[in-house]
Amino acid sequence: MFDLFDLPEYVRYAFGMAGYDDISAEELVLETFLHRWGGLELEAFARALNEGQDDERVVAIFALGHDRTAWAHELLLPFLHSPHPRERWASALELGKMKDEQAFPLLLAMLTEFLPPKEWPSSMGDGLWLYNSWRELIVLILAEWAQPEAVPALLEALTVYRQIEQLIPESIRTARRYWRYCQGKVMYALGWLGRFDILAALDATEPVLSSWKVHLALGYLHAHLDYPEVFTRVLRIKPALYKRVGEVLTEKYGFTKEQMEKCLAAFEDLKW
C-alpha cells in the first residue's frame, strides 16, 4: 500500500491529472506502473513515455511536464502531433504552461474540441468528463499567456459554451453549472487582457452580464494567482479581494456602491 501523501508531488499531480481521483484505483495503477517501469522516478516516466501504451504515456506526459526542464520539454514536443487525442491534449497543456509557441494554436483549437453531442448536451461519456476537466485549465493557461491573438478563439468558445448550457434542461444543474463556469473563465481570460470593452459586442442579459463583469475584474486583477479558490468560493470571505474587485467595477463601469454590491451578488449566485 502507498501513502499517497509521501509520494513526490509530480507523481500525485500526474495521476490526478490523468483522471485517477479515486484513491483505491490510484493505488492499483501506481502499483502496476511501479512494477512495469521499475520505479516512480522521472526516468521511469521517461521510459513509459517512449515505450508505454495509452494511459501510461498520458501519465508520463503530466509527470515530466511538472518538471518544467529543457529535458522534459524536448521529450514532450513530439506528442503535440500524436494521433492519440489524450496524449496531444496532455502535451499541449504542459507545453502551454512552459509558453511553447507550438502549443498555442493547439490550445485555441482545444477550447471547442470534444464537446457533447447536441442531442445529449449533458453527456459525460466517452471520456468527455476528462476533457472537460482539462478544458478549464486551457482557459487559465491562455489567460496567463496574455496573447491578444487568443481573443477570437475565446469569444467563439464563449458562444459555444452558452449554446451548450442553454440546451441542457434546468433540472440537470451540475452540467449547466459546468458550462456557465467555463463561460466565466473565458471572461476571466479576457479581463486579464483588459478587454472590458468586449461586453458591448456580446448579447447578454442580467444576471449573466453582472457575473461576467465580475469575472472580467477578477481576471484584470490576476486573482487566481493569490486566491486559487476564487472560482469556487464566495468572494465575501476574502474581504481584501472583494474590496479590490469593487474598486475595479467602480473604475471601469462607474458603479455606485449599491450597483457594485448587486453585481457581486449576481456573480456569487450564478456559481451555484
- CB half-sphere exposure, 106, CA atoms < 13 A: 23
Together in a domain, 106 and 12: yes
- pLDDT over 70 at 186, yes or no: yes
105 plus 153 within the same structural domain: no
Pick the last residue of a domain from 110, 133, 166.
Answer: 110
Within-domain flag for 126: no
Q: Which residues contact 101 (CB under 8 A, 6 or more apart)?
A: none
Domain span at residue 4 reads 1-110
Residue 132, in any domain of the structure: no
Q: What is the DSSP string of 77-133?
A: GGGGG-SSHHHHHHHHHHHHHTT-GGGHHHHHHHTTSSPPPTTSTT--TTTHHHHHH
Domain boundary among 63, 94, 110: 110
Which of these three, 110, 127, 161, is where a domain ends? 110
* pLDDT tier, 92 (very low <50, low <70, confident <90, very high otherwise): very high
Domain identity same for 100 and 16 = yes
Q: What are phi and psi of 251, to 5 degrees?
A: -65, -45
Residues 166 and 266 grouped into a single domain? yes
Residue of 66, 56, 53 whose CA lies nearest to 11 = 66
Taking residues 65-94, what's their average pLDDT? Answer: 96
Residue 258 counted as domain residue: yes
| Same-domain pairing of 264 and 163 | yes
Tell me the mean pLDDT in the region 249-262.
95
Please indicate, yes or no, whether residues 169 and 231 belong to a single structural domain of this protein. Answer: yes
103 in the same domain as 220: no
Give domain status of residue 180, yes or no: yes
Q: Is the pLDDT of residue 202 over 80?
A: yes
123-141 confidence digits (pLDDT tens)? 998 899 999 999 999 999 9
pTM for this one?
0.93
Residue 38 shares a structural domain with residue 154: no
Arithmetic mean of pLDDT, 92-104: 98
Confidence (pLDDT) at 104: 98
Please check whether residue 143 lies inside any domain of the structure. Answer: no
The answer to whether position 68 is within a domain reads: yes
Residue 221 has pLDDT above 80, yes or no: yes
Q: Are 251 and 193 members of one domain? A: yes
Same domain, 1 and 70: yes
Same domain for 39 and 98, yes or no, is yes
What distance in Å separates the CA atoms of residue 256 and residue 213, rounded to the nearest whole number? 14
Residue 75 counted as domain residue: yes
Q: What is the pLDDT of residue 27?
A: 77
Number of domains in the chain: 2
Is the pLDDT reported for residue 25 higher than 80? no
Looking at the structure, do residues 268 and 161 belong to the same domain, yes or no?
A: yes
Residue 3 confidence (pLDDT) above 80: no
137 by Cβ neighbours in 10 Å (0-12 / 13-18 / 19+) ranks as middle
For residue 119, being part of any structural domain is answered with no
Q: With 90 as the cut, is the pLDDT of residue 199 above it? A: yes
